[in-house]
Structure 1
Amino acid sequence: MINPQKNSILVVDDTPNNIRLLFDLLRGVGFNVSVVKSGELALEKLHLIQPDLILLDVMMPGMDGFETCRRLKADEKSKDIPVIFMTVLSDIESKVKGLQMGAVDYITKPIQIEEVLARVNVHLALRNTQVQLMNEVTEHREAEMKLQETLKELQKAQTHLIQSEKMSALGQLVAGVAHEINNPVNFIGGNIIHAIEYTKNLLNLIQLYQEYYPNPVPEIISEIEEIELDYLSDDLPKLLHSMEVGVQRLQEIVLSLRLFSRTDDSKMKLVDIHQGIDSTLMILGHRIKEYPDRPGIEIIKNYGNLPLVECYGGRLNQVFMNIITNAIDGLEQAINSQKIFTPSIAIQTEVLDSDWVKIRISDNGCGIPVEIQKRIFEPFFTTKPIGTGTGIGLAISYQIVTEKHHGSLECVSELGEGSEFRITIPIKRYQ
């Protein structure tokens, strides 16, 4: 016997005697009983009554019990409420029709008290069990969802922590290296200008000696032949010029390192996006150039006319570094797989709707399978061998673009056709 105090029953009948009998019987054993006299009223009042079981008369004027039951079962909110038909119809066809409409049982009129209580108790017990199971399933689902959310938040926090520590360490390392290199480079650069000038003067002096003293002593002639004076006079200016170019290159690298690290990145500043991309390419130059066993990677720049963008420059440089590094990895994999092609990375920038900047970084490598594309921004997901990839590069990049800059980061890829990453960020600070 179930506990009737926990259940409510709706009686739908237009016969006063039946209503009185059922009301007194069910109320007498402790059920909460509501009564309506038509199918139309049952549908109208259902959301207010919210019964656990419905006793429904089949033969009613207007909307009969069959139609009322059909509409109850068609409604998402009431489809699970058990319906017991009450009828004087005893033929098999009517009973089958009612069961097909969704009824769970029949009570035959005239009403027998023991039969009503027995059938009501059985179906309410089933209903209560069903509700309990549904509640448990819902609770399990909610608990699982909360667990998943907690796990995501934990991964997000781990990624953020790693990002902060990585950027801080990288920024300090790069800034320190740039500082240490900068002093001797500036010293060499400042002195090589004088070395070029001194060399020019000395060579001019030697030329004057050759003009005014065309017949030097044998010892001088021997020394001229020993040092190959003509070759030295021609090659020394070239050598000094190449050293000057090398110093300029070092100065450019130092500048790129300083631009890339941007240790003052705690606040948004106006940044030249192209400068950030170029500094990243400069740092990755050793991976882009040609090697004896591997062709060089062609860099195709299609830069638009971008304004200065209010952003965290150092963090965006980290995004560029992660994406371009992955592109290089993909191209090297394609080269090793004997794919015949000219490896290239294309970088395109443009302004969208005057308020947004889009950066596209694409390669013509092997592409990314669809099942992997769905997971590439997940923290700690990687397809690289153990020890070669952490699985946080793209997760960090996604967090930087979407959370720090309120932009978007997308991946579009097709197997055999390469991959493209699209970064979209606002030009002005996000309001």
Structure 2
Amino acid sequence: MKHIDLNPADYKILVVDDIATNVMLLKAVLGRAKYRIVTATGGHEALEQVEREKPDLVLLDIMMPDMDGYEVMRRLRADPRWEDLPVIFLTALNNTEDIVKGFKLGANDYVSKPFNHEELITRVAHHIFIAASKRTILEQSEQLQRTMRNRDRMYSVIAHDLRSPIGTLKMVFNMLTLNITEQMAGAENIEMLKMGNDITENTFMLLDNLLKWTKSQTGRMNTVFQEVDLAEVVLFAGKIADLVASAKGITVEYELPASAKVRCDVDMIKTIVRNLLSNAIKFSHEGGRVIVSMSETATHVLVSVRDFGKGIRQEDQSKVLDPDVHFTDYGTRNEEGSGLGLQLCSDLTRRNGGELTFVSKEGEGSTFTFSVAKSQAADQPSDRPVS
């Protein structure tokens, strides 16, 4: 919270007492401290002054003939507008029960009559500071909410105005890469075409990861469970990486069972598989291979993506899945990464009742494994088809 530099002249205090000499004395003491003062000589007038003047603090006498301070307190706290208004009781009562009654009604503090001037100023300054702090927190909260709304609008623009055209561009490059041969365009143009295809694939995945990560971190991502064949989902998601793999001459092999029934969020699983395959391809050497396999425990189905590439240095392995560390590395063809993909995979895996783990050895490759619970409770089951 930013530093609060209080200027007493910015704060208004309502003094309520039915004895004129007490009011004059309080005005003199508080006036010397530079506070602005308004007064009332009874309970009804005090409530009217609160409505009219909207003070920052009330010094309220308890014993008054028309309406005592307790009743004034009750009415103030019954009104949502004044439920946080600081109130300090002025009391000549020495009975502990009367003081406790004031606190139970919502008083913030009390000062006994006859009061010590320094004590009065100190208590007033303390509660003014608390009120100012609350006001500052409220202002900062409102500013934060505005910032978050602006951020959400920005992400909406990204989602609708960037994701769609980049997705279209990705499909165009995919088709050109599949249909144009070196004999048709020449080796140099084919290399440029592959480079363009890699860039659009990576950009689309980064954008997709960014949007999903933002939804996850802002609580706007829903996990929709359904009964599916995990082997089918993994195979379908993996095929999207085939073009990127072929550009580096990498073979993706699948060692999957005929069927593996789980209850999961299909879109999340596909995102996990795409990211793990993308990383495996990025860190594999030209002409290498990647193996996607599945196994089972009593409670989970495990999906592993193994590459035989550069691996991860021992000193970096603790950073890879640490949410507090932004870790990224270059691929075997100097492909850049955002460091976001694995963090997203870890989060999505937890949402599906599993865990993301890995083993790696520098120079020999890495194996990333995520698990999916065989039995998953869903709040809102969905019949959305696998696609």
**Fold agreement, TM-score > 0.5:** no
Scaled to the shorter chain, the TM-score interval is: 0.3 to 0.5
* Greater helix share, structure number: 1
TM-score in terms of structure 2 length: 0.44
